[in-house]
Amino acid sequence: MQARIDLRLLLFHPDDIYQDTGGYKLPRKEIRDIVDAPPTPALSFSPKRDKILFLQRRSLPPLADLARPELKLAGFRIDPSFNTRSRMSSYTGISIHELLEDGTLGPEVSVTGLPDESKINYVSWSPDGTHLAFTVRGDEPEEGSTSGLGVWVANIESGEARRLFGPPDLLLNPIFDTFAWLDDCTLVACCIPPSRGPPPKKPLVPAGPNIQSNETKEVVQNRTYQDLLKDQHDEDLFDHYGTSQLFLINLNGETEPIGKPAVYTSIDPSPDGSYFLVSTTHRPYSFIVPSGRFPKRMELWKRTGEFVREICSLPLAENIPITFNSVRQGRRSINWRADKPACLYWVETQDGGDAKVEVNPRDIVYTQPADCPEGEEPQVLYKLELRYGGVVWGDEGLALVYESWYKTRRTRTWMIAPGNLEAEGRKLFGRSSEDVYADPGSPMLRRTSLGTYVLAGVKDADGKKRLLLNGSGATPQGNIPFLDLLEIESGEKQRIWESLKETYFETVVALMSDQLDGDLDLNKLRILVSKESQTEPPQYYLRSWPEQTVCQITDFSHPYPQIANLKKEITRYERSDGVQLTANLYLPPAYDPATDGPLPLLMWAYPREFKSKDNAGQMRGSPYSFAGIGSTSALLWLARRFAILDGPTMPIIGEGDEEANDRYVEQLVASAQAAVDEVIRRGVAHPKKIAVGGHSYGAFMTANLLAHAPHLFACGIARAGAYNRTLTPFGFQAEERTLWEAPTTYINMSPFMLANKIKKPILLIHGEEDNNPGTMTMQSDRFYNALKGHGALTRLVLLPFESHGYQGRESVMHCLWEMDRWLQKYCTDGEADETPDASSEQEAKGHVTSGTLGEAGKSEESVDGEDPPESRSRHWSGMLSLL
């Protein structure tokens, strides 16, 4: 008898769509296609503004790039095979265009002569704009050997590139610094000492125990730094990989060593190239703070390497108070003045570095020429009541000095005359840093013949000097960027340009008519403007005065045309205590709430602290800006027909002397309730199909909301979070108090303590190598075990080799697969097609996405705190540089 088959058994059950069969998975094709779209090239303009580089980038590197051997030393992650920072992003190609007089681009000239599959970093124009210098990573070294970075130069006119130096003869050491142009044909470079031997081997038996002692009863409080030195062997490795020999190298390839090998942390030539400001670090090192707090010595050298004088010698700084605005004692922020050929300036604290100490002045800015007579005291440039925030130099008659104070959010800008130190400074601006409506804008800078940047002065027919102010233009209707002329003496402003107020969003990017020294002619003013809309990606335009003619430079294609017609608006609503809130509401293309009904909705957020209810409620951003989608962005789910509430404001407000976090839970729940009520009221979200998620501090928020407001959400997704605040006892995020000063706050804010109360499904995702302060992987591991111990519906995904932000293609795709699975299963209850396994798809090799041009060789992890959410797509992030 023939067997009967029940066809119902052949149908997919919703729970079988995402089978846990092991290995890396791929999300649905509609998500995959967006993530794999080629990123937009980065742009860099020549010093004379007559050439443009287009630096090519690829989407995501393969996980194998992250799986390379890695040393964790004093806050750094080092690839020992290449003697570089690990996880370096890179460019894959360079093309050059001439910027013609009419604003159009000339023919493309590709940089040629590079090895196949080159990984390019640290791209830098020569001062005269005729050459490029950059690094090319060497071939993969054989096991047990070392390769490294070589420096190449390319001729701008022909595009021909050649190796200036590299393996096996001489290798760059980019652990701390790389190279800099001294003049049009000479570089100074930090190189691996040619005589360096093999790395020190770890002894099989240690010489003794590792001992830390505080028998002097010193108060030492630090946040939860990671990747610190652990023992003497780590110290030896730090010396081995960090030690450099400085070389002068000309474009003919001739090299000359200067100075002796040392752990050089920076080499900063004076604007005229006649001096070096050389910084080194040395023992004793520390096991509780990263290298930035190790003993530091700064010296002034002549170009030949001849020692001139010591600028500072700072001891180990383990005891900087954790209070915001606390700083290191001694000289700090030591730099060259941009308005002088060779003149130094720096700051010295008057409060011992402790922000809790009441003193006036709090900081003093000093200045001193490099060629001053021996023993001459530095000049006092300015005394500040608040904490120093920087100097923007103009000329002998004008410089701007900034100061601020975090506790009150107070910020002030002073005008001073560096050439007349007897004259009193005059306050130019003063406001709360939270009050974006009162932001007057930032002064635009012009490039000098020395290659520095100073205040861009403008002189009109009346002979009065004015500054150009470039502002975001925050208003209750959204940002409307502007360009103002500020008359210095009277303070009067004249608006000479403003973004379109509807449909398009424009921003001033850079000044393009600054090729000559001196004040600018308003009638010859040229600026670079970015223009975008909700559905059109950013393009660059040249705008020229006096007619304000406009010429489009770029014509980038839409990176994800499949959702090009998405709908975006900034929606406003009110919290129960009267605080005004905003959020970016995104809806899928062709969605009509009247006919399609409510959608499943993903709310992705990140709390912020404020001192003022009014400022917390101010509108930020533009309803007309382009929706940049990063590789792990919540906006990817627009392709899955979700509504997305991105960045709803979650202000945690502490007015006056009130500590914001003492009412964290109350305010967080109120903000979430208001957001949920709004999307339900508008009919775009199904009340039973709203998910909440976040990354880092947003993950912390997600867990708290599922603990305290489970009625609002169907499920949650928490990536790279910290859930137990007793594991960050010396402060976190904007919290300055310690666990022992505010135990109730720490406990009440910790969702770990409420693991027995969390019943809604929560997905935890974490990189196994997360080195962000406060968000160590252990946080998710222990939280998962606490949840599982109380029968919660939860899942923990640990991504091998990943840090705080996920980079490897396999990791990113699997992360998105996990998120999509979770949303489909616990939010929408819908069916989906079976997704393929990553190993079954034929893929081209991926490459590391690059960051900004000046930081293309740096690791992308935060070193100061828990990261804010991804605000711009990798397609557009850091895509412009003016050198």
Query: CA-CA distance, 367 to 474, in Å (whole number)?
Result: 36
Residue 732 makes CB contacts below 8 A (sequence gap 6+) with 223, 722, 725, 774, 865, 866
Bridge-based pairing of strands 599-604 and 685-695 is: parallel
773 upstream amide cis, omega within 30 of 0: no
Catalytic-labelled residue, pool 240, 695, 804, 875: 804
Question: What is the DSSP annotation of 142-173?
Answer: PTT----EEEEEEETTT-BEEEEE-TTT--B-
φ/ψ of residue 521, rounded to 5: -95, 120
Please report which residue ranges of 312-409 form alpha helices under DSSP H.
none
What type of residue sits at position 192? Answer: I
Q: State how far the Cα of 37 lies from the Cα of 25, in Å rounded to an integer.
A: 18
568: phi then psi, degrees, rounded to nearest 5: -135, 140
How far is residue 687's CA from residue 690's CA, in Å, rounded to a whole number? 6
Task: List CB contacts of 867: < 8 A, sequence separation 6 or more.
Answer: 695, 696, 697, 772, 804, 805
CA dist., res. 284 & res. 315, Å (int): 9
Closest by Cα among 851, 856, 850 to 134: 856
Q: Tell me the C-alpha distance between 286 and 294, whole Å.
A: 7
Q: Which residue has the tokens 């004793």?
A: 284
The C-alpha atoms of residue 332 and residue 329 are separated, in whole angstroms, by 8
* Percentages of the chain per state (helix, strand, coil), in multiples of 5: 15, 35, 50
| Whether residue 804 lies in the annotated active site | yes
Look up 696 and say whether it is catalytic.
yes
- Report H helices in 586-628: 593-596, 613-616
The verdict on whether 449 is a catalytic residue reads no
Q: In the chain, how long is the greatest CA-to-CA distance?
A: 109
Q: Which of 770, 811, 850, 873 is catalytic?
A: 770
Q: Which of 44, 43, 46 is nearest to 514 (CA)?
A: 46
Rg for the chain (alpha carbons), in Å? 28
User: In whole angstroms, how far apart are CA 822 and each of 27, 484, 782, 787?
Assistant: 12, 49, 21, 17
Taking the C-alpha atoms of residue 872 and residue 579, their distance in angstroms, rounded to an integer, is 27
Burial of 463 (0-12, 13-18, 19+ CB in 10 A): exposed
Q: Which of 622, 696, 750, 780 is catalytic?
A: 696
Query: Distance between CA atoms of 764 and 758, rounded to whole angstroms?
Result: 13
Active site residues: 696, 770, 804
